[in-house]
Amino acid sequence: MSNLQVTLPDGSVQNVPQGSTPLDIAKSISQRLADDALVAKVNGQMWDLTRPFESDSTLQLLTPKNPEALEVYRHSNAHLLAAAVLELFPETKLGIGPAIENGFYYDFHPRTPFAPEDLEKIEKKMWEIQARDLPYQRQMMPKEQGLKLYGDQPMKCELITEKADAIFSEYTLGPYFIDFCRGPHIPSTKKIKAFKLLSIAGAYWKGDEHNQQLQRIYGASFFTKKELDEHLAKLEEAKKRDHRKLGQELDLYSVQELAGPGLIFFHPKGALVRKLIEDWMRDQYLARGYDLVYTPHVMRSDLWKTSGHLSHYKDNMFAGMELDDAEYRLKPMNCPGHILIYRDKLRSYRELPVRYGELGTVYRYERSGTMHGLLRVRGFTQDDAHIFCTPEQIEDEVVSCLEFALDVLKTFGFDHYEAEISTWDGGASGKYDGTPDLWTLAEGALQRAVDRLGIAAPVMRDEAAFYGPKIDVKLLDALGRKWQLSTVQFDFTLPMRFNLEFVAEDGKRHQPLMVHRALYGSIERFFGTLVEHYAGAFPLWLAPVQTVVMPITDRQLEYAKQVQAKLIAAGLRSHLDARPEKVNLKIREAQLQKVPYMLVVGDREAEAGTVSVRHRKRADLGAKPLDQFIEEVRGLVRTKAVAE
């Protein structure tokens, strides 16, 4: 029997007998490496440490120092969870259990629904199994035999029928758990060092609401307890910042059951913040050469047939309304409306680029149970803009869009972001519209634009929309969480569907290039992001109430009214708390409402024309002449300062 050659990352080659495994090589290098290794990469593919080589191979041994090992580690946590559930609740039916960001989950269909207190029992059982040092064992199974073996697990049989090869891999863990799984996995449960079960949620089999409802158990998992503890602390902080909780406590917005889910009612304070966000964007539109437009909320279904939305997007649109002349639909997108305005007259190349901007409200049907506060709703307002230009203009237009996006981040206090360019597959799948020349032009313009601005933007191949490539900008908030924000998106389809034209310098009619561009994404989602980023303590220029004036007794009430009037006259948003309550109570309540400045006035302040200033984070700032305070605060508002 001939030996196999295994090439290591440093270029060295080991000759090993057939039947050797990556773990054997790890042991030959050092016992410490063998103890640390979690999974292997063989010929570029993830591989169990105990799986024998099948031919001459390249090998990389992955330890906790390699990020790629983390997904395998977390998936092994999911199998550990399922094994624990089956030991405790043996009649449970199994769904799927993937690794996810920061952890894992597994979907179950138990005979009796899990209760919250069951999480503690299941987690305790997981640690018991972990201590047994059980191996994750891979074995191969013929499909026919596998369907019989999994006969009491209908969801597994469905997956095997749909996805399994004639001979498929499965993994065992202890006497109770066996799972149809491609793997790989870590060697044994002893390698698992830090996990925590977090919650139970509802889920539909395969994400389809027409299928049976399952229970999904989520868990967090890291290589070390320190990392886990840091993550759990971050989750606790995220709970405090939850925009749904703060939205109620700060009286910013609500969802009204009588009106329906996913429809947002902005209360006075929330509406004021929203106005400031929208006003800033409209002012920027005008300053940057955009024209403001407004388009209807409902339009004939014929329009949506022409745009392709009725064929591609019908399930996300609200049902049609039969009126006297035709069927109408609530708009799910603003772009066809902007296209109709552009198409209303023939344009010359001298008029291009044409930039239309709108804060347009759209309506999309989201399934029950998928709505989430302000982040996923059925009615929302997009800061939509569409740019119609020539091929020669496109790169500069993309650069301008990206500069605009970065200014949004800076203005609203987001210091960190990530960007990605999503491209097509070169036409291999046939699922993308547009010619190779158009894709080359568009992708080149996107790449040159990020290069000009010095933005690091990895290319995500085969992640584009079917109608064109795009750049996505994701902000990182105060907790390091990513939020999808700005998108700059090419569209090859709509200009063709609507026969858009302009008269070029050669006197002939040509089709313009079209770019979709949304920088907030949606007002609702951006509002929720701001609430969570600032934990409800909006920067001074965005705070719905910037100052609260607090007289100590009724004797200072008249002076307090004069102070408030002067603040309002200076353009500051001020509230007068004239209740006959102790000033400490007033301060505490203003702190809970995240008001930036509390101005306490007593006899001394009234006599001297001053205010005693208290800041929501920096506490007592001492007495200041009222005019000086106003000038300082107006300066902070004018510069849109975000630092406290």
Question: Could you give phi then psi for residue 599, rounded to 5 degrees?
Answer: -110, 105
Look up tokens 């109620």; give the residue: 248
User: In sequence order, what are the residues at sequence separation of 6 or more whose Cβ sits closer than 8 angstroms to the Cβ of residue 590?
Assistant: 548, 550, 577, 598, 616
**Which listed residue (153, 382, 447, 593) is catalytic?**
382
384 is catalytic: yes
Residues 311 and 303: beta-carbon distance below 8 Å: no
**Which listed residue (335, 472, 525, 546) is catalytic?**
335
Q: What are 402's two structure tokens?
A: 């990206």
Q: What are 34's two structure tokens?
A: 């063998």
Rg value, the chain, Cα: 30
Identify the burial level of 308 via C-beta atoms within 10 angstroms of its C-beta, where 0-12 means exposed, 13-18 middle and 19 or more buried: middle
Q: Nearest CA to 594 among 543, 541, 526?
A: 543
Residues 79 and 136: beta-carbon distance below 8 Å: yes
Q: What are 151's two structure tokens?
A: 């006969």
**Which listed residue (41, 74, 470, 614) is catalytic?**
470
CA distance 593 to 251: 9
Q: Nearest CA to 595 among 539, 530, 526, 531?
A: 539
489 is catalytic: no
CA distance 594 to 577: 15
**Which listed residue (516, 517, 525, 594) is catalytic?**
516
Residues 386 and 415: beta-carbon distance below 8 Å: no
364 is catalytic: yes
Identify the burial level of 412 via C-beta atoms within 10 angstroms of its C-beta, where 0-12 means exposed, 13-18 middle and 19 or more buried: buried
**Which listed residue (125, 347, 378, 386) is catalytic?**
386
**Which listed residue (179, 384, 433, 477) is catalytic?**
384
CA distance 165 to 160: 8
Q: Nearest CA to 119 among 174, 196, 193?
A: 196
CA distance 386 to 341: 11
628 is catalytic: no
470 is catalytic: yes
Residues 619 and 587: beta-carbon distance below 8 Å: no
CA distance 449 to 387: 16
378 is catalytic: no
**Which listed residue (364, 517, 525, 614) is catalytic?**
364
Q: Is 542 left (phi over 0), alpha (psi -120 to 50) or beta?
A: alpha
509 is catalytic: no
CA distance 373 to 238: 14
User: In sequence order, what are the residues at sequence separation of 6 or more whose Cβ sits closer than 8 angstroms to the Cβ of residue 28?
Assistant: 14
Element (H, E) at 408: helix 394-411
Identify the burial level of 481 via C-beta atoms within 10 angstroms of its C-beta, where 0-12 means exposed, 13-18 middle and 19 or more buried: middle
- Cβ atoms within 10 Å of 503's Cβ, excluding its own: 15
Q: Which residues pair with 384 in a beta bridge?
A: 358, 518
The set of catalytic residues is 335, 364, 382, 384, 386, 470, 516
